[in-house]
Structure 1
């Protein structure tokens, strides 16, 4: 067993040096993403001590609204960028996205200007105050980098995008640190950093894409051609867009349910942000390359899909199982020691969500399988069922127990079970016999859970965080 595992790792590292290989392309993306994670590991503890949970709660609501509106700006066409073989058809997809983006900005502007009226309808949102006026910029700095990133993936420029994103995130944390020190942890500080730094970062994306290419995309063809392109890729706005938006709403259920308590909201938002780190580092690194590779294989070598999918699944599982087991059983201890007593609850929430994010890490990069197979409608059905399950569980927990802990735990239990099913569904649709790899992963996770639970009991006297 050990020899087989060692041989497997040796083969993986050997492929990194092979130019154009899957591992080589993923390594380019990984190297840029690692800059983001390194900056988070070094600066996040300091920034968290400066701002505190309430500031993260206000920022969490601002970010949730920005992400919702940015999602509405893309009618599911981002993931279609890699599909057209004709470059003009690809540019038409970008133009359609820009039209939707402009429409969303125009529609939201009156609501932002009349934010005081909105607060009378939704009093909990009043924690944003006048900073709601920055929401259009918040939407722009979420939408445009995603557009440019998918453009760079289309061009197979796997090196540029992660470095641009990594550099922006590094400067964002440095800005938050400096601004927090001078403003003494102002509640709005994280919002200012989000808009200012990411806005400046758009200039770097502009340079990477090229001025000429952007001028060309802004030269609109006849509407009849755009309509023809939209009709060709109609399944994306009809099925994929609703699926993505429903998925986003499902993930944000605790945010909108905890908004009445900015401190609890901040604890949850901070925990979720940290758990996303390995997803961005490893899941994104393999996911963007996987998306490009299976799109190509579907045209040329469709029989390679099961092999490629199984390889990515095994890589992600090997990467994630041990770190997430450690996070699940020791996050509260780590948070209390590194961040201080104010963030202990966030450590407990992190423990609750450990297995959920492990299954997300392994499954979400494989979602492209459903796109190339033209089975997007299955994703929508899955997300609708999971949204209903999450909402029912979270509302029931709030009614029965009335605590933030109960809401987060109920949300997590449903999400974990749903993503386990999702993982099996993706493997099956890729043509991979799903039962054996899923059961093997569950056996490994269970064994590690027992091991880390015993280690925790030996060191702390409790079996699990929060007990």
Structure 2
């Protein structure tokens, strides 16, 4: 039996995080057939719009300082960066609340949905929770405390799904979807924060305003370059929901959202688990050796092997699967999934490995790639709107994303080999 148990530290870390991640991803998939019968495609579309705005704003509020938590040699210095990122998350979320209060109607009009207006007031709360959680997430990653992450992710997924089921059963509409999501975020943060405080209390107590300021200046390139780069990246991934809603209708956004929920979210969770471990290993190798080629190729191989067959099979069965499991009304989401399958596959492989851009401090190169991706995504949907419809828009979107992910893989591999740009 011992032969079948992974012996390497890397493999054990992956399995620890993947176990919690698998449970976390199974929960929303398991409840989705119920949710699609409790909520309409239009309601899913408006909820997706809320999540898109919150996701984009969450990139800004941390200043991207959480990305630097792995870099300091001493834990006490890294905790200064954790505190800095968390403080910025809360402070800038309060500023965001002021913006929402002053410009709610114009923002709703820009998004092409008046229905989302009342829920924009919940966006700042969501962004602050996401920002602080991500800061603690990177701290636990630095400490190789993957059990903490597995527990918190499972709690978030479970309580979000449970809240949404309860809201749908009670017939409260969008309040169920939004409220369930925020409740899950809050519980995950409280659980992770409690574990960090209990086990790393001495590091937390070392935080000082002077220390936070010192490291804010030292890592100033992170907000200078990564805010824009990652905002473009997040906007590119969320733009389909926003453009489908604005250019076509909320139902199209709802179909796309279910596709993301069934495929995109689990892919992000699994790839994210591998990426968390890869980030820690790659940072160490790059600091010690000047490259992280070995762990890069090791992770690339794992990503391809575990994903190729499932993606290929699902390409052929997607429409029938969605119609059978979620109701015939949602069969269109299966057609969307088939069109987007090449993009999902390449995203699963490339996204965890793109961490090399941060490890190699190639922020300018990452920014150029993100800007190009954003431009092509917008052009894809505008072309679909003017020449055909949502179907063509999704085909062009999938093609643009796929080509750019291949380029991303090539560049990240060269960075992992120690090539400087």
TM-score (ref. length: structure 1): 0.83
Which SS does the other structure have where 2:354 is aligned? Answer: helix
Distance between the aligned counterparts of 1:272 and 1:214, measured in 2? 38
Q: CA deviation at 1:371?
A: 2.0
Instruction: Assess, with a 3 A threshold, how the Cα gap between structure 1 residues 198 and 221 changes in structure 2: closer, same or farther.
Output: closer
- 1:237 is the counterpart of 2:226: no
Instruction: Assess, with a 3 A threshold, how the Cα gap between structure 1 residues 69 and 277 changes in structure 2: closer, same or farther.
Output: closer
Distance between the aligned counterparts of 2:94 and 2:223, measured in 1? 20
The CA deviation string for residues 97-153 of structure 1, in whole angstroms up to 9 with x for no partner, is 133223322222223334653357537231124222222222223222212211111
Query: What is the 5 A alignment of 1:155-304?
Result: 155-183=143-171, 186-210=173-197, 217=204, 221-223=208-210, 225-260=211-246, 261-302=249-290
Distance between the aligned counterparts of 2:262 and 2:72, measured in 1? 36
Instruction: Assess, with a 3 A threshold, how the Cα gap between structure 1 residues 102 and 399 changes in structure 2: closer, same or farther.
Output: same
| Alignment match of 2:35 (pick from 29, 36, 47) | 47
- Taking only aligned residues, the RMSD between alpha carbons, in angstroms, comes to 2.4
Q: Which of 1 and 2 has greater Rg?
A: 1
Question: 2:72 — aligned with what?
Answer: 84
| Alignment match of 2:83 (pick from 71, 95, 101) | 95
Query: What is the 5 A alignment of 1:108-187?
Result: 108-114=96-102, 116-118=104-106, 121-122=109-110, 124-183=112-171, 186-187=173-174
TM-score (ref. length: structure 2): 0.92
Instruction: Assess, with a 3 A threshold, how the Cα gap between structure 1 residues 213 and 415 changes in structure 2: closer, same or farther.
Output: same
Distance between the aligned counterparts of 2:45 and 2:270, measured in 1? 27
Count of matched residue positions in the alignment of Structure 1 and Structure 2: 417
Which SS does the other structure have where 1:188 is aligned? Answer: helix
Question: 2:6 — aligned with what?
Answer: 17
Question: 2:312 — aligned with what?
Answer: 325
Q: CA deviation at 1:272?
A: 1.8
| Alignment match of 1:381 (pick from 368, 375, 400) | 368
Instruction: Assess, with a 3 A threshold, how the Cα gap between structure 1 residues 316 and 330 changes in structure 2: closer, same or farther.
Output: same
Distance between the aligned counterparts of 1:280 and 1:358, measured in 2? 11
Q: CA deviation at 1:59?
A: 0.7
Instruction: Assess, with a 3 A threshold, how the Cα gap between structure 1 residues 216 and 46 changes in structure 2: closer, same or farther.
Output: same
Contact kept, 8 Å, 2:158 with 2:184, in 1: the verdict is no
Instruction: Assess, with a 3 A threshold, how the Cα gap between structure 1 residues 314 and 14 changes in structure 2: closer, same or farther.
Output: farther
Which SS does the other structure have where 1:258 is aligned? Answer: helix
Instruction: Assess, with a 3 A threshold, how the Cα gap between structure 1 residues 150 and 264 changes in structure 2: closer, same or farther.
Output: same
Question: 1:454 — aligned with what?
Answer: none
Q: CA deviation at 1:399?
A: 1.3
Distance between the aligned counterparts of 1:106 and 1:423, measured in 2? 38
Contact kept, 8 Å, 1:278 with 1:361, in 2: the verdict is no
